Structure 1
Amino acid sequence: MKKILSTLALAIATLALPGLVMAQAADPKQALAAKVVALQQGPELQRLIGQLADGTANDLLQNWAPKLQANVAEAKRKEVGDALNIELKKYFDDAAVIIGSKITQASNDALVPAYMASFSAEELQQLATFFESPVVKKYQTAAPQLGNSFIQRLVEITRNDIAARAAQFDVVAAKLIGTPTAKAAPAAKPAAKK
């Protein structure tokens, strides 16, 4: 009787999770796996959707930027470029919606079966309890800011080294392609002694 009640409570809780579609809601392990997948998808999921949409927008930009330069008169380039940027923003917004609308399907197709194969029903219940804890919810809320702070600091402390390495690449690329490199700025003269 206790097992039936816990299974029923789990099924009711799982049905309350937004967006998850259970092919076989009667399977308690599948319901637990779906619950764990839903619980772990915190604010970082929106960042992932944005990154994926941004990647596809960058692909379009890389394709069309050279065409803009080659096919549009310089006098009209800014106007056409601004119009393309507006369309690119619309594309990005639409791509994010499309990607976001497929999260449930991807979760059900890939993650739920993987969790079912990797964890027992008891382990899935422990994971669900973990993800429902207030500290994990707080962590999921704080994670984007923590990640941004780390990334900003990493960029700051590597900027000069990366720029120096990019300059080395430019020199080699210019030799390979046969184009002149930009001349280095003259070294600063030491201050006159008084």
Structure 2
Amino acid sequence: MLAATVSAFAQAASAPSSPAKKELVRKVLQLQQQAIEGTAQALVEQPAARLLQQAGMALQTRVPAEKREEVAKAIQADAKKFADEVMPLMRERAVGLGPTTIGPLLEERFTEDELKQLAGWLESPVVRRYQQLAPEMEKALSEKLIGDTRATIEPKLQALQQSIGQRLGAPGAPADAASGKKTIPPAPKASAAKK
């Protein structure tokens, strides 16, 4: 009896989806295009933001005060150029991959009736408004969270960076300062900032 149940389940799982189910999957993917594009955008913005954060810290120690603003603007321009070049490619590719990556998961894990319900829910004006508001809500929370915790977190982050620098034997780490040896960290390579 167990073998018959397993066999029936395997046949059902490997059976091709109906045209109606495939159309529902296509509709759900279309309704989720903004979220798919958002994933691509995050994949571009997160590493760029980390690089900008690292550059901001390096500016304070490696660039003379009178040149910091100019260098910061140049770095911002490089980051914008990167995003402008990469973002359209990532969005287009993400939307193109949706049917072959997300589509099979939807077909496999949702029944036709569930896909109808999901599409109806995604088409709801309330859900659309909520999805449109989501980036603004995330930004508001992030800004407030960073503002409220910066004074506590930054010293801990700097201590972590110093600890890591000491463990790696990086020049300019507190061990060098204690020995009286003055070290100047090397300036970042221009080509590395543009990649």
TM range (shorter): 0.5 to 0.7
Q: Distance in 2 between matches of 1:79 and 1:152?
A: 25
Q: What stretches of structure 1 move > 6 A for 4+ residues in a row?
A: 58-62, 77-84
Cα displacement string for residues 145-189 of structure 1 (whole angstroms, at most 9, x for unaligned residues): 1111121222223222311312332453454324227xxxxxxxx
Cα displacement string for residues 61-90 of structure 1 (whole angstroms, at most 9, x for unaligned residues): 88xxx9xxxxxxxxxx99898667645433
Contact 2:44 2:83 in 1 (8 A): yes
Q: Which runs of 5+ in 1 are unaligned?
A: 1-23, 67-76, 182-194
Identify if the C-alpha distance between structure 1 residues 152 and 179 changes in structure 2 by more than 3 Å, giving closer, same or farther.
Answer: same
Cα displacement string for residues 79-131 of structure 1 (whole angstroms, at most 9, x for unaligned residues): 89866764543332110010111122211111111000010000000000111
2:26 corresponds to which letter in structure 1? A
Deviates more, 1:121-130 or 1:167-176: 167-176
Partner of 2:137: 146
1:133 corresponds to which letter in structure 2? S
Partner of 2:28: 36
Q: Does 1:115 align with 2:112?
A: no
Identify if the C-alpha distance between structure 1 residues 97 and 149 changes in structure 2 by more than 3 Å, giving closer, same or farther.
Answer: same
Q: How does 1:1-194 map to 2 (within 5 A)?
A: 27-42=19-34, 44-55=35-46, 57=48, 86-173=77-164, 175-176=166-167, 177=169, 178-180=175-177
Task: Give the superposition deviation at 1:59.
Answer: 8.4
Q: Distance in 2 between matches of 1:56 and 1:100?
A: 16
Q: Distance in 1 between matches of 2:70 and 2:156?
A: 35
Classify the secondary structure of the residue corresponding to 2:22.
Answer: helix
Q: Distance in 2 between matches of 1:135 and 1:80?
A: 45
Q: Distance in 1 between matches of 2:71 and 2:165?
A: 31
Contact 1:174 1:180 in 2 (8 A): no
Task: Give the superposition deviation at 1:133.
Answer: 1.0
Pick the structure with more helix per residue: 2
Q: Distance in 2 between matches of 1:113 and 1:156?
A: 42
Identify if the C-alpha distance between structure 1 residues 87 and 109 changes in structure 2 by more than 3 Å, giving closer, same or farther.
Answer: same
Contact 1:25 1:31 in 2 (8 A): no
Q: Which runs of 5+ in 2 are unaligned?
A: 1-15, 59-67, 170-174, 179-195
Q: Percent identity?
A: 27
TM-score (norm 1): 0.59
Identify if the C-alpha distance between structure 1 residues 133 and 94 changes in structure 2 by more than 3 Å, giving closer, same or farther.
Answer: same
Q: Distance in 1 between matches of 2:126 and 2:103?
A: 24
1:27 corresponds to which letter in structure 2? P
Q: Distance in 2 between matches of 1:95 and 1:58?
A: 14
TM-score (norm 2): 0.59
How many pairs were matched up?
149
